[in-house]
Structure 1
Amino acid sequence: MKTSFDIKDGEAIVRINKNIYSKEIIVQTTYVLLNKYYFLIDCDKDYWIVSIRPKEGDDISQKSVYRFFDELIESSSYLDQMKNTSEIRQMILERAILTQGVSERHE
């Protein structure tokens, strides 16, 4: 079953397939949107279940849920890129530290 959502009583309940998105991505996504929404994260065997409620005034809208989905994709892409480039970043950091040590010895 695909990711789905229902809007009821001023909140959205979003079901997100665990095979597609990790807990890390769900938490990252909710963190980015914490200034506008309250979140409750739960799960069952196959899905992350995220309750979304606006902090200010109005009831939740479909637009708000789709904003959450957009951020979910962005967070997923960002974390994938971080994992894919971690070795390169580590090498750059090690080289910078080694270079700093060499330049301090020559002073």
Structure 2
Amino acid sequence: MGTTTKADYYTKEQEQIARFAKAMGHPVRVAILQLLSSQACCFHGDMAEELPIAKSTLSQHLNELKDAGLIQGNTTPPTVKYCINRKNYALAKKLFTEFLT
């Protein structure tokens, strides 16, 4: 008999919901997602002017959202443009809706 690991107890959907929830677990990240979902894309510098945080802190939050797949960035030095990852954003909406109903 094989050993059961912690990962064997959770479904792919449960793990994905937890990953999305962790990424959205800070008010700044929620604000970033709301800002990006209301427009096609936004430059890092423009977001830094909109949100009351340091650029370095903003970068950390953007990286967390990007790592979770909720946003995507396009780097064209010296600027970085971020957009919602529409496919994963739709997946998050579907998973959270199913989970919460």
TM score, norm. by length of structure 2: 0.30
Q: Determine which structure has more spread, i.e. the larger CA radius of gyration.
A: 1
**TM-score, length basis structure 1:** 0.29
Greater share of helix? 2
Higher strand share: 1
Of structures 1 and 2, the one with the larger relative CO (CA 8 A, separation 6+) is 2
